Chain A
Amino acid sequence: MDSDSINTTPSPSANNCKDFSRKKRRSAKLKQCKLDARREQWLSQSAVKNKGCCKEGTNGGDLKQRAQGQTDCLLENLEISRRGEANRGRETGLVKHESDSESLPSNSPMNSILLEGTGSGTSFTNSSSSSSSTSSGGCCSGSITEEEGDDGCLDDWEAVADALAADDDKREMERNNNNRENPFLGSTPEHEQNPQLGLKGEGSDLRNAKLECPRMVQRVTGSSRAWRADDAFRPQSLPNLSKQRSFPNTDRHFGQRGVPWMRSSPFTVPSSCPICYEDLDFTDSSFFPCLCGFRLCLFCHKRILEEDGRCPGCRKQYEQDPVEAEASIQEGSLTFRLARSSSMFARS
Chain B
Amino acid sequence: MIDFARVQKELQECSKEIDTSGIRVSPKSDNLARLTGIIPGPLGTPYEGGSFEIDITLPDGYPFEPPKMKFVTKVWHPNISSQSGAICLDILKDQWSPALTLKTALLSVQALLSAPEPDDPQDAVVAQQYLREYQTFVGTARYWTESFAKASSLGVEEKVQRLVEMGFADSLVRSTLEAVGGDENLALEKLLSS
Q: Are B6 and A277 in contact (CB under 8 A)?
A: yes
Contacts known (A275-B63, A276-B3, A276-B5); A300 close to B98, Cβ less than 8 A: yes
- Asked if A114 is at the interface (CB within 8 A of a chain B CB), the reply is no
Give 1 or 0 for each of B87-98: 1 = CB within 8 Å of chain A CB. Answer: 000000001011
Q: Are B3 and A315 in contact (CB under 8 A)?
A: no
By a CB distance below 8 angstroms, the chain A residues around B98 are 275, 300, 304, 312
User: Which residues in window 205-233 of A have CB below 8 A to B?
Assistant: none
**Dominant secondary structure at the A interface:** loop
Q: Are A277 and B9 in contact (CB under 8 A)?
A: yes
Q: List 11 A-B contacts (CB under 8 A).
A: A274-B99, A275-B64, A275-B98, A276-B3, A300-B98, A304-B64, A304-B98, A307-B64, A312-B98, A312-B99, A315-B95
Q: Are A315 and B97 in contact (CB under 8 A)?
A: yes
- Asked if A294 is at the interface (CB within 8 A of a chain B CB), the reply is yes
CB distance from B10 to the nearest CB of A (A): 8
User: Which residues in window 1-51 of B have CB below 8 A to A?
Assistant: 3, 5-6, 9
Contacts known (A304-B64, A307-B64); A312 close to B3, Cβ less than 8 A: no
CB distance from A275 to the nearest CB of B (A): 5
User: Which residues in window 234-283 of A have CB below 8 A to B?
Assistant: 274-278
By a CB distance below 8 angstroms, the chain A residues around B97 are 310, 312-313, 315
Q: How many residues of A contact B (CB 8 A)?
A: 14
User: Which residues in window 296-313 of A have CB below 8 A to B?
Assistant: 300, 303-304, 307, 310, 312-313
Q: How many residues of B contact A (CB 8 A)?
A: 11
CB distance from A335 to the nearest CB of B (A): 27
Interface residues, chain B, with chain A CB atoms under 8 Å away: 3, 5-6, 9, 61, 63-64, 95, 97-99
In the complex, what distance in Å separates the CA atom of A156 from the CA atom of B95? 45
Using A275-B99, A304-B64 as known contacts, list a sample of 5 further A-B pairs with CB atoms less than 8 Å apart, ordered by residue number in A.
A274-B99, A276-B6, A276-B63, A277-B6, A300-B98
By a CB distance below 8 angstroms, the chain B residues around A300 are 98
In the complex, what distance in Å separates the CA atom of A307 from the CA atom of B64? 8
Q: Which residue on B lies nearest to A314, using beta carbons? A: B97
- Which of A277, A294, A304, A315 neighbours the largest number of chain B CB atoms within 10 Å of its CB? A277
By a CB distance below 8 angstroms, the chain A residues around B3 are 276
By a CB distance below 8 angstroms, the chain B residues around A307 are 61, 64
CB distance from A313 to the nearest CB of B (A): 6
CB distance from B5 to the nearest CB of A (A): 7
Q: Are A313 and B5 in contact (CB under 8 A)?
A: no
In the complex, what distance in Å separates the CA atom of A137 from the CA atom of B10? 61
In the complex, what distance in Å separates the CA atom of A307 from the CA atom of B62? 12
In the complex, what distance in Å separates the CA atom of A289 from the CA atom of B163? 56
CB distance from A70 to the nearest CB of B (A): 54
In the complex, what distance in Å separates the CA atom of A255 from the CA atom of B3? 29
Closest 7 CB pairs of A and B: A312-B99, A312-B97, A275-B98, A312-B98, A277-B9, A277-B6, A274-B99
By a CB distance below 8 angstroms, the chain A residues around B99 are 274-275, 294, 312-313
By a CB distance below 8 angstroms, the chain B residues around A303 are 64
By a CB distance below 8 angstroms, the chain A residues around B64 are 275, 303-304, 307
By a CB distance below 8 angstroms, the chain A residues around B6 are 275-277
By a CB distance below 8 angstroms, the chain B residues around A313 are 97, 99
User: Which residues in window 172-216 of A have CB below 8 A to B?
Assistant: none
By a CB distance below 8 angstroms, the chain B residues around A312 are 97-99
- Which of B3, B5, B64, B98 neighbours the largest number of chain A CB atoms within 10 Å of its CB? B98
Q: Which residue on B lies nearest to A274, using beta carbons? A: B99
Q: Are B95 and A277 in contact (CB under 8 A)?
A: no
In the complex, what distance in Å separates the CA atom of A312 from the CA atom of B5? 19
Q: Which residue on A lies nearest to B61, using beta carbons? A: A307
CB distance from A43 to the nearest CB of B (A): 54
- Which of B3, B61, B99 neighbours the largest number of chain A CB atoms within 10 Å of its CB? B99
In the complex, what distance in Å separates the CA atom of A304 from the CA atom of B98? 9
By a CB distance below 8 angstroms, the chain A residues around B9 are 277
Q: Which residue on A lies nearest to B101, using beta carbons? A: A274
Q: Which residue on A lies nearest to B6, using beta carbons? A: A277
In the complex, what distance in Å separates the CA atom of A274 from the CA atom of B100? 9
In the complex, what distance in Å separates the CA atom of A29 from the CA atom of B139? 113
CB distance from A15 to the nearest CB of B (A): 81
- Which of A274, A304, A307 neighbours the largest number of chain B CB atoms within 10 Å of its CB? A274
By a CB distance below 8 angstroms, the chain A residues around B95 are 315
By a CB distance below 8 angstroms, the chain B residues around A276 are 3, 5-6, 63
CB distance from A165 to the nearest CB of B (A): 38
By a CB distance below 8 angstroms, the chain B residues around A278 are 5
CB distance from A121 to the nearest CB of B (A): 75
In the complex, what distance in Å separates the CA atom of A155 from the CA atom of B6? 44
CB distance from A262 to the nearest CB of B (A): 19
CB distance from B31 to the nearest CB of A (A): 18
